[in-house]
C-alpha cells in the first residue's frame, strides 16, 4: 500500500529494516534521513494485531528519535474496534484503548478506512488527536456498477451499524435498501431478522468487515430462501478467516467485492487513491 501511494503521490518511500531477536523481540531501524520531515507510517493491523501494534510503536519511536516533524499513522484497517462496549464486567474497552495506544507512542494524526463505528459514532470519541475516517464504499459501489451487475438490485445491511455503509452504496447505485437486525450469540454464531421484499431481485449485501463469514452466511441463506435470484456482497475489510470465502460461496454467494485494506487478498478495488488524496491534502 505504501508503495502504491508513494507512486501516486511522488512522495519518497522508506522501508524499515527489521529482524526478530532470538527471544522473539523485534528489532528495526529506519534507513535514511528523516530529520525535520513529515512522515506517513503505513501499518496493517490485520491477522496479528498485537505484534503489528508493537512494530508500529517501534517505527514511530524510531522516527521521533530521528527528529521527524510529524507522524501520520495510515492504518487502513483499525483492529479491535468491534469491542466497543464493556459487555460484561471486567472486560477492556478495546475500541478506545487501541487508539489511545497509537496516540501514546507519538502519532500526531491518523488516517483510517471504514472504521467499525457502532456504539462510538465518530473517530473523535476514541482518538484525541485528529483522525480521518475515509470510506471505500463509493469505490466499491462504482466497481459493482461498472461491471454491469447493478440492475434490479436491493442493497441489504445485516445489522443496524451497517446502515451507514448501506446508505452510501444505495445512493451511489440509485437502488432501494433494507437494513436487518443481527443478534450475536458468540464469536461464530449470529441470527438475522427483518423484512425482505426481494422476489426475483439481486440482493447486494454491504458490510464493513467479513471475518469468519458467519454474518454473511446467515444473510445469504435468508435472502435465498426469500427468493433472491442472485446474492452479491461488498465489504471494505475482507479478513476471510477459517475458509470464509468458500463457505460463503457454498451458501450461495455469487460475487464478493472488496478493497485492499487487508494485505494478501485478491482485492478488486484499491483504496490507495483515497489515501494518496488525503495525504496530498495534508
* Site for ligand R5P contains 159 (CB under 6 A): yes
Smallest distance, Å, CB 58 to ligand R5P? 28
* Site for ligand R5P contains 109 (CB under 6 A): no
* Site for ligand R5P contains 249 (CB under 6 A): no
- Write out the binding residues for ligand R5P, residues 186-215 only, by CB under 6 A: 190, 207-215
Please identify, using beta-carbon distances, which residue of 145 and 245 lies nearer to ligand R5P.
Answer: 245
* Site for ligand R5P contains 237 (CB under 6 A): no
Strand duo 26-30 + 16-20: pairing: antiparallel
Smallest distance, Å, CB 83 to ligand R5P? 11
* Site for ligand R5P contains 236 (CB under 6 A): no
Smallest distance, Å, CB 55 to ligand R5P? 24
| Residues with a known catalytic role | 182
Please identify, using beta-carbon distances, which residue of 107 and 211 lies nearer to ligand R5P.
Answer: 211
Please identify, using beta-carbon distances, which residue of 39 and 210 lies nearer to ligand R5P.
Answer: 210
Please identify, using beta-carbon distances, which residue of 134 and 210 lies nearer to ligand R5P.
Answer: 210
* Site for ligand R5P contains 84 (CB under 6 A): no
Q: Which stretch binds ligand R5P (CB under 6 A): 26-34, 72-80, 156-164, 258-266?
A: 156-164
Tell me which residues touch ligand R5P (CB under 6 A): 82, 116, 158-159, 161, 190, 207-215
Amino acid at each position: 500500500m505504501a508503495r502504491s501511494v508513494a507512486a501516486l503521490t511522488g512522495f519518497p518511500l522508506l522501508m524499515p529494516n527489521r529482524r526478530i531477536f532470538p527471544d522473539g523481540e523485534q528489532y528495526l531501524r529506519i534507513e535514511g534521513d528523516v530529520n525535520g520531515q513529515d512522515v506517513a507510517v503505513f501499518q496493517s493491523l490485520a491477522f496479528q494485531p498485537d505484534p503489528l501494534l508493537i512494530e508500529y510503536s517501534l517505527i514511530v519511536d524510531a522516527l521521533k528519535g530521528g527528529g521527524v516533524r510529524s507522524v501520520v499513522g495510515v492504518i487502513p484497517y483499525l483492529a479491535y474496534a468491534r469491542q466497543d462496549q464493556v459487555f460484561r464486567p471486567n472486560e477492556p474497552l478495546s475500541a478506545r484503548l487501541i487508539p489511545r495506544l497509537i496516540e501514546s507512542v507519538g502519532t500526531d494524526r491518523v488516517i483510517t478506512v471504514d472504521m467499525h463505528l457502532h456504539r462510538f459514532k465518530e473517530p473523535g470519541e476514541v482518538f484525541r488527536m485528529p483522525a480521518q475516517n475515509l470510506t471505500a464504499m463509493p469505490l466499491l459501489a462504482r466497481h459493482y456498477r461498472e461491471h454491469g451487475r447493478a440492475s434490479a438490485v436491493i442493497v441489504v445491511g445485516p445489522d443496524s451499524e451497517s446502515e451507514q455503509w448501506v446508505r452510501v452504496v444505495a445512493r451511489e447505485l440509485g437502488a432501494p435498501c433494507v437494513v436487518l437486525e443481527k443478534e450475536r450469540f458468540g464469536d461464530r454464531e449470529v441470527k438475522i431478522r427483518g423484512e425482505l421484499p426481494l422476489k426475483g431481485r439481486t440482493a447486494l449485501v454491504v458490510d464493513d468487515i467479513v471475518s469468519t463469514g458467519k454474518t454473511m452466511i446467515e444473510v445469504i441463506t435468508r435472502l435465498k430462501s426469500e427468493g433472491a435470484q442472485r446474492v452479491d456482497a461488498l465489504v471494505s475489510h475482507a479478513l476471510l478467516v477459517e475458509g470464509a470465502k468458500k463457505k460463503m460461496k457454498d451458501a450461495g454467494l455469487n460475487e464478493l467485492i472488496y478493497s485492499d485494506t487487508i494485505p494478501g487478498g485478491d482485492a478488486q478495488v484499491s483504496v490507495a487513491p483515497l489515501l494518496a488524496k488525503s495525504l496530498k491534502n495534508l
